[in-house]
Structure 1
Amino acid sequence: SYGFGLAGIFMLFGMLQFGFAQKIFGTIGLSPKHKNRIDAEAVNYAENNAFQQPMEQKAEIIPAHVNRDRIIVIGVFAFFTIFFWWAFEQAGGSMTVFAESYTDRALSGNSAMMFKVVNTLLTVVPMIILTVVLTNLFRKTFAKYSLSNIFLGTSFVIIWGIVIWMLLREFRADATEVPASWFGILNSFFIIALAPLFSKMWESRYNPSGPVKFAIGLILLGLGFAILAYGGNTIEQGAKTASVSMVWLILAYLLHTLGELCVSPVGLSYVSKLAPIKLVGLMFGIWFIANFIANYTAGLTGSFIDEITTKHSISYFFLIFTFIPIAAGLVMLGLNKMLKKKMHGIT
């Protein structure tokens, strides 16, 4: 398809952009025996821009039992994150099926115009912000990394062309139908809109412990699927199509994003805080193995949507993703005191 073709072109441009701007990284990522092959310009750049840690700072000696307890906490977090991403990743599968086959996406009159305006704002405003950022980047780096900037600029011009073409086609269309894939952008929008609020909240006195944040995230995720189950309760058993309100999907994506903001950045942060210095890479590897398991089981479970819908209903299918994350969240709440103790002061 055209989408995969464009993705391939942009991946090629991205590789070329990275290749022509490697010197910007200096000696970062190179083995010591290769560092002497780096030209003086790259070395000077790295020395002038790298974050230097004071030499007088010594690595803290942490008792073995503390490291052991913290590794256990990472393992518990990794285990429970499987439940979160297992359900959350239904966004790319069963939730898209729900949007495609069971949601009324046809709009007319004022509703159609409102969607066109909202869609335009959600698309154009981020593009304008990126344009300003990239323009400033070009001014600072074009002299040294001209080819890299040319490939980046070319990619951005193509993207602007696609955006303008898409919006013109949408406004000229006789009938308006929300694409099923459009709901996927709600997650990104809600993250951008709500992340500053969450950041401020975590910095205030309303800052729960890591396990509690995990529990809240899992429960919010389950409630999002509860909304979908409620919205689809009028769909008959075995029905292949229906026309329920898209409001249910929007609310579900909102709750899922709220849950993600409680789990995703918090989980990665605690892995880096809790992992022993020598095992940071291994611990992150274990964390992403948990994500792999979650994504695999998400696809496997989502593949049963037709079978479960035929035997029971679409609401029954979404209730599976309601009860399991909520149950996992309640268990995490119960483990809060024990996990906080094993974190040994890490907050």
Structure 2
Amino acid sequence: MAVIGVNPGWEWSAENAGTLFATYAGLLYLTPILGGMIADKFLGYRNAVAVGALIMTLGHALMAIETEASLYGGLALLVIGTGFFKPTMTSIISEMYKDLPEKKDGAYTIFYMGVNAGAFFGMMLCGYLAEKIGWSWGFGLAGIFMMLGLLQFWFSKPLFGEIGSAPKKEEKSKPQTSQLDTLEDISSDDEKQPKETLNPFTTFDKVFTVLSVIFGLVFLLHGPFAINGVPLIPDFFGIYSDGEEILSPKITFILIGLVVFFFPLIISRISRYERVIRHRMITVVIFAFFTIFFWMSFEQGASSLVIFARDFTDRILEGSAATTFLVIDLLLTFTPLIIITWVLIKLWGASAKIIRLSNIILVVCFMGIWGLAIWKTNRDLNTKSYELTVAMHVTPDLDKDGKQKVDKKTGELLFAKTPVTVAMEKTLTDSDSVEIVTKTIGEYKELIPGNEILATFELGAFRYVDEVKEGMILKQIEQHPGKSSPIIKATLGEVAGNEVEITTSWFSILNSFFIIAFASLFSKWWESKYNPSAAVKYGLGLIVMALGFGILAIGANGLEEGMRVSLVWLVFAYLFHTLGELCLSPVGLSYVSKLVPARMIGFMFGMWYLAIAIGNYAAGYLGGKIETIQEQYSMSTFFLIFTIIPIFMGIVIILLNPMFKRLMHGVR
């Protein structure tokens, strides 16, 4: 993205941005392991939630400053805050319903829906502010609502009683027990499951655990440090032949960590258990392996699909298409908001006397959400499309080898057209080819046809520059003296109708919306007699999710630079991704708790989160390659990678279903 403009970026490449996201996403699934341990032993769940929320608030505040240092600092605080927040919220719910196991599934369903409702409105409103007004507004709004949420949670303590409070000294000294300590399962051979024998962590286990963690952290942090010229992994880790790199230092480094430390640690721990427990733990390890491929593909929604939506999807709608979208967006925005508001009114009536101050803060939050939703809708409804007469500099469209591109269908030479900026006007000569064309520009403010206006051309669209934005751009030029002004002089024509520019972040709300829409349907499926086995659910999750990428591969067929596809392709892709997630989500962590003995629960949860972290890291790393693969091969090739691999892995795990049934020894 350009470093100068109405809403500029820092001119990072997609690859560098993907590397940073890979590190961030990987760490998000590792810090909860440590955060959960601190909450268990010292803080208690409620205090840990408060600490995590406060740290995340500070993280968003730092990111609102918009400097590279504050970006790194803000992301670091978000990772640390999530480490406290993520594991403890679910632990509080578990503790609240420990004596009501029959109601626990319903409680987790409400929690899951609440999380997705928050994600839905957060991405919709914060993303809209960030793209339409400025990035600091988006991050700032997220920080404000995080702080209000923290206060609302803190003043609701009377509802919890002693639930989630800090452990007392005598509680710390008591040995921890679990239902798994006393549970007797019936194996497939009708043999009673023997109780877990004592299997303490040896010095070997502890040392290799620490070394595995160190290797993992160095691997995750290497990318951002390397971007800034301080690589953590030296080049001598690479494998070379005749001067050519066979394996990069980063890949070799993590392979050494896995083979020398992590795999021996897993084998050492599992091999010391008796046969039935050992088989069940092996099942968890295999499931964890397949988990990597799911999240590697699914989390493209936060990396490559954002770039695809921004640069290759037609997000500017006019006429009937704009009207249709506005109606759909109106329903998407206000229908869930009305339902949630009604639920909160009912909750107010039930808890007003107990947590009055907490409820007042909650009302303030939702008044803010209503206000922002109405402001956003009004802005979109009143954005008009104007004709714009602008000069375009015509030059040969060159490929990466410097040769002029040719239209594959007609054989004609292709030319690139670039808007003539104020800076370019001074350098153009009589030999330069300039063409006067009519384009469109969308603007919320009332503009006067016939006037000359200032504009910029960003992400495939012309954007109006008023006096305030012009001052911002001039200030950016002062800060980057090597950059030329992106300001364009153009003549405004007649009103062409309504126009809507769909924000890139709008597509990210689709996952949350589809989860809310289909979660109950899948819940009924799992409770019916047609409930498939764990392996089949996993396989279906991988295959259905991959079909979403198959849809994109078809939609992107023949897509070249400058071309854009209909937004319908992305909508259907997100639909299939969500359906795949709903197939797979019941399997994950629930089977860890079912199959693993109490003494190994924490260790295996850590291993499971490590698998998700690896998948998220791979998603960010591969997502950053979208432009490179598109240039060297095609956009379809990029999406086929995430179509073929998950489908293959899904078929494999379904075929392994009989083996899993034997290894699980009766656990369903």
In structure 2, the residue matched to 1:205 is: 529
Deviates more, 1:141-150 or 1:334-343: 141-150
Deviates more, 1:201-210 or 1:158-167: 201-210
Matched, 1:81 2:291: yes
Q: Distance in 1 between matches of 2:161 and 2:169?
A: 14
In structure 2, the residue matched to 1:245 is: 566
Q: TM-score, normalised by structure 1?
A: 0.88
Offset of residue 122 of structure 1: 1.0
In structure 2, the residue matched to 1:185 is: 509
Offset of residue 132 of structure 1: 1.2
Offset of residue 211 of structure 1: 0.5
Aligned CA distance change for structure 1 residues 132 and 278 (closer, same or farther; 3 Å): farther
Q: Distance in 1 between matches of 2:156 and 2:315?
A: 44
Deviations 1:259-306 (A, max 9, x none): 101112332322232232343333333222221111111111111112
Matched, 1:14 2:149: yes
In structure 2, the residue matched to 1:49 is: none
Deviates more, 1:139-148 or 1:294-303: 139-148
- The alignment partner of 1:265 has SS state of coil
Deviations 1:51-76 (A, max 9, x none): xx9x9x99224334222222111111
Q: Distance in 2 between matches of 1:169 and 1:335?
A: 54
**Would you say how many aligned residue pairs link Structure 1 and Structure 2?**
325
**Larger strand proportion of the pair:** 2
1:108 paired residue among 295, 298, 318: 318
In structure 1, the residue matched to 2:328 is: 118
Matched, 1:305 2:616: no
Point out which structure has higher relative CO (alpha carbons under 8 A, 6+ apart). Answer: 1
Q: Gaps spanning 5+ residues in structure 2: where? A: 1-135, 172-177, 185-192, 195-273, 385-498
1:294 paired residue among 615, 621, 625: 615
Q: Distance in 1 between matches of 2:331 and 2:597?
A: 45
Aligned CA distance change for structure 1 residues 24 and 282 (closer, same or farther; 3 Å): farther
Aligned CA distance change for structure 1 residues 32 and 68 (closer, same or farther; 3 Å): farther
- The alignment partner of 1:163 has SS state of helix
In structure 2, the residue matched to 1:93 is: 303
In structure 2, the residue matched to 1:31 is: 167
- The alignment partner of 1:144 has SS state of coil
Q: Distance in 2 between matches of 1:2 and 1:265?
A: 37
Asked if structure 1 preserves the Cα contact closer than 8 Å seen for 2:158 and 2:354, the reply is no
Q: Distance in 2 between matches of 1:268 and 1:169?
A: 43
Moved over 6 A (4+): none
- The alignment partner of 1:135 has SS state of helix
Deviations 1:127-155 (A, max 9, x none): 11111111122222222222222222211
Pairs within 5 Å for 1:256-275: 256-275=577-596
Which has the larger Rg?
Answer: 2
In structure 2, the residue matched to 1:44 is: none
Deviations 1:88-127 (A, max 9, x none): 0101111111111111222233222121111111111111
2:540 paired residue among 195, 204, 216: 216
In structure 1, the residue matched to 2:119 is: none
Residue identity over aligned pairs, in percent, reads 52
Offset of residue 15 of structure 1: 1.7
Q: Gaps spanning 5+ residues in structure 1: where? A: 36-52
1:59 paired residue among 182, 188, 195: 182
**Larger helix proportion of the pair:** 1
1:226 paired residue among 547, 550, 553: 550
Q: Root-mean-square deviation (CA), in Å?
A: 2.1
Q: TM-score, normalised by structure 2?
A: 0.47
Offset of residue 196 of structure 1: 1.8
Deviates more, 1:295-304 or 1:133-142: 133-142
In structure 2, the residue matched to 1:161 is: 371
